[in-house]
Structure 1
Amino acid sequence: MVAGRRARTLFLHGLAGKAAVWDALDLPVAADKPELPWHGMADPAWSHLPDPGRIVVDVVTPGHDVVVAHSLGANLLLECYADGRVPPRPTVLLCPFYRPAPADFDWPAISYYLNEFHRTFTEALRVGETARFPEAKREWLARALRDQVGPYGWTRWFETYLRTPFLDLSRVDAPVLVVSGVDDVAARPDDGRALAKGLPRARFELLDGCGHFPMIEQPDRLAALVRDFLDEHWS
């Protein structure tokens, strides 16, 4: 990394997440961790407009040397890179959603992501500060989060996923580290692997024993990966 200056790093959380999900990461960076409009139990008004990518455009500044983004945040950032609204820079994409061809989406996939949408929130509650709660309470909270996100929030997320085959990945010419978890019930490891393969300068890391929230489940391992990435690419 540059001598005498820490990388100014922007952290973008996923749908129904919160800025605090990054707190366990021990990184030598100047961190910006905004609470994004789609945070947990947020007012769903953010999803009533058709372009949530505009929020990413507003929070990523020329002063951000590096971006680390998770789930929906990762996908919106990738889309803004690919359509030229945000200049690419060294980036870590955690558990992104990606399919390289329209035919990769079928009716069973849509049924799974619609009817089992709450499972992602169940996983978050299992590994976070709510892990101490009884399972029945965590399940209730997961469904409450799903209901708070609502049909519009789900639609904005799934629209972003459906657009991934049409992204011009050749425009994302900065180094990218793509990280997926073997046990992710939301973003398949194959999604991350295919995305890294399609990007010009990407590397893929698959974390054993990890699901959709590596910054909570394996913060030390993730921090080591990010530090190595910074040492190699931020200068």
Structure 2
Amino acid sequence: MVEVLFLHGLAGKAAVWDALDLPPRFAATAPELPWHGMADPAWSHEPDPARIVVDVVSDRHDVVVAHSLGANLLLECYADGRVPPRPTVLVCPFYRPEPADFDWPTISYYLNDFHRTFTEALRVGETARFPEAKRQWLARALRDQVGPYGWTRWFQTYLRTPFLDLSRVDAPVLVVSGVDDIAARPDDGRALAKGLPRGRFELLDGCGHFPMIEQPDRLAALVRDFFDEHLELT
């Protein structure tokens, strides 16, 4: 049996992984993290949200699948030695290889259009049946619930990515990005995979920031095949 830990992203929830149908040999754990949708924003008042990932990942987890903010915090913990690296799938992570890759237009985009990522989640999730106006309202409600501190904690994590010691992430890592991702650009995922010692990149056509909802069968196949390749299953 392979123990798989799933980590969701900012304003996501554990149920975001429900459509990812893995074979019975994979035993899944998907905790509700403090930054889940409509959560108490108190988690963001602490300066080091990565410590939450340290507390969640244990030696019994053979592999990890992490999305968005969860992926970035996990990567940070691998790079600074707080969590031992293991075979991992990072879904739509944020990454820039150089500090100069962050400029004022980048900050403006992620600040002023922050709600658009939530709009995408609502468009492809269980709320897809809602009218567009209601989805737009809910997206702004999620943004407001995350709040300035939550946004700042996420963006600080993004800003630190050029300084991560990726050489310490010596486990195999599959980085998955969506062609149509308006939040974590495909170039981010490609650059991250290139910088990892054992990184591999997979780009999903016709997919945005939520492959586990938009293309769950394809993502499940990638996850299954990747872990089968790097683990000795009994």
Alignment TM-score, normalising by the size of structure 1: 0.96
Shift of 1:231: 1.1
Q: Secondary structure at the match of 1:229?
A: helix
User: C-alpha distance in 1, partners of 2:23/2:48?
Assistant: 33
Deviations 1:188-234 (A, max 9, x none): 0000000000000011000000000000000000001011101101x
CA distance, structure 2, for counterparts of residue 55 and residue 154 of structure 1 = 17
Report the Cα distance in structure 2 between the residues aligned to 1:19 and 1:231, rounded to whole angstroms: 24
Shift of 1:28: 2.3
Q: Which runs of 5+ in 2 are unaligned?
A: none
Which string of whole-angstrom CA distances, capped at 9 and with x for unpartnered residues, describes residues 91-126 of structure 1?
000000000000000000000000000000000000
Q: What SS does the aligned partner of 1:209 have?
A: coil
Q: Which residue of 2 aligns with 1:9?
A: 4
SS in 2 for 1:81: helix
The whole-number CA distance in structure 2 between the counterparts of 1:140 and 1:151 is: 18
Describe the SS at the equivalent of 1:8.
strand
Secondary structure class of the residue paired with 1:75: helix
SS of 1:160's partner is helix
Partner deviation per Cα, 1:77-96 (whole Å, 9 max, x = no partner): 00000000000000000000
Gaps of 5+ in 1: 1-6
SS in 2 for 1:41: coil
d(CA) in 2 for partners of 1:85, 1:28: 30
Aligned mates of 1:57, 1:84 — CA distance in 2: 10
Structure 1 stretches of 4+ moved >2 Å: none
Identical amino acids, percent of aligned pairs: 91
SS of structure 2 residue aligned to 1:173: coil
Q: Secondary structure at the match of 2:180?
A: coil
Report SS of the residue matched to 1:28: coil
SS of equivalent to 2:28: strand
1:185 to 159, 178, 182: 182
Which TM-score applies when normalising by structure 2?
0.97
Q: CA RMSD in A?
A: 0.7
Count, aligned residues: 228
What is the rounded CA distance, in whole Å, between the counterparts of 2:65 and 2:164 in structure 1? 19
- Residue matched to 2:203: 206
Alignment counterpart, residue 161 of structure 2, candidates 145, 164, 169 = 164
